[in-house]
Amino acid sequence: MKIVLESICKEFFSRGLRVEALKNISLEVEDGEFLTVLGPSGSGKSTLLFIIGGIEKASLGKVSFHGERRSSGPMSAMVWQQYALFPWRTVKENIIFGNEVRGIPKHERNRLADQFIELIQLKGFENHYPHELSGGMQQRVALARSLCNDPEILLMDEPLAALDAQTRTLMQLELLKIWSQFQKTVVYVTHSIEEAVLLGDRVVILTSRPGQIKEIVKIDLERPRTLDMMRSQAFHKISDLAWGAIQDELLKANSKK
Ligand code: ADP
Ligand code: MG
């Protein structure tokens, strides 16, 4: 599903103050693209995802989607840093939830859940509750729960930020593997330049508030991506470009605090 944003602006009013969160964002995300978004804190990254997901409305501008829309099922799914799993449901019950709500027949939703449990390598943990799992496992369940609903767009807001560095790296590679099988359009917000470059086809860099597009860096590293690539010259060259674009913005954002 292709996403087209045209001159998106978003302002919030809170306690009598007007906050301009996003300004004039025009962007096309290709069908099946993995787009990463970098920007200082407060630059409107989460707001941008909410607008694409239809959770927030843009103050100005237009969001449109090009591609076939299936009649059933949500079009987009969000994955957050907080895994937001239901603590009273087991792994399998969490993954099944969306299809239960959508009224998918029991044997079919069981089949789908089993397939996704296999995919996220949690076989044997189906009947565990979230508190019995590590952070990495919980995030895999959250990812499976989203994918199980067969969304056309996956919106991810710093989903791995709470994990330790090693688990995060493993999850990055796992996520890429899963994505390569499903070819969903992904918009992935992160504050890690390395993560943005390792995962993305392109990285969008936002300015400090109000968020505008500062630069879009194309990441022409081949796929599948590997950890070795992170040590390559090409990787460093792209990371340096991204770093160059974002560093002034980080300083600006910091001085506004
Ligand atoms: P980021 O995810 O890049 O850190 P956000 O999208 O969360 O940034 O927020 C961008 C700006 O909009 C911030 O200044 C934030 O305080 C403001 N903002 C976000 N959501 C709301 C809201 N619901 N009401 C008022 N202000 C908001
Ligand atoms: Mg945010």
Question: In which region does residue 78 sit, left (phi positive, over 0), alpha (psi from -120 to 50) or beta (all else)?
Answer: beta
Contacts of 219 (CB under 8 A, 6+ apart): 197, 200, 201, 202, 203, 238
Atom 26 of ligand 1: nearest residue by CA position: 12
**What count of Cα atoms within 13 Å lies in the side-chain half-sphere of residue 204?**
23
Query: In sequence order, what DSSP letters do the residues of 205-219 get, joined into one string?
Result: EEPSSSB-EEEEEE-
What are the pocket residues of ligand 1 if the criterion is a CB atom closer than 6 Å to any ligand atom?
Answer: 12, 14, 19, 21, 39, 41-47, 209
Could you give the dihedral angle defined by the CA atoms of residues 100, 102, 107 and 111, in that order, rounded to the nearest 10 degrees?
-90
* Per-residue pLDDT at 119: 84
pLDDT at 257: 66
pLDDT at 80: 81
Q: Which atom of ligand 1 lies closest to the CA of 13?
A: 25
What does pLDDT average to in each consecutive run of 10 residues of the chain (257 residues)?
Answer: 95 94 98 96 95 94 80 71 88 94 93 91 95 92 88 92 87 90 92 96 97 97 95 97 93 79
Tally helices (H) and strands (E) across the chain: 7, 9
Nearest of 89, 97, 140, 98 to residue 117 by alpha carbon: 140
Q: Token digits for 218?
A: 């194309």
Residue 212, pLDDT score: 98
Q: Given the CA of residue 39, which atom of ligand 1 is nearest to it?
A: 3
What integer pLDDT is reported at residue 84 of this predicted model?
82
Tokens 């603590």: give the residue: 87
Measured from the Cβ of residue 223, the count of other Cβ atoms closer than 10 Å reads 11
pLDDT of residue 62: 94
Residue 129 in tokens: 């509750």
Q: Whose CA is nearest to atom 17 of ligand 1?
A: 21
Tell me how far the alpha carbon of residue 203 lies from the centroid of ligand 1, in angstroms: 21
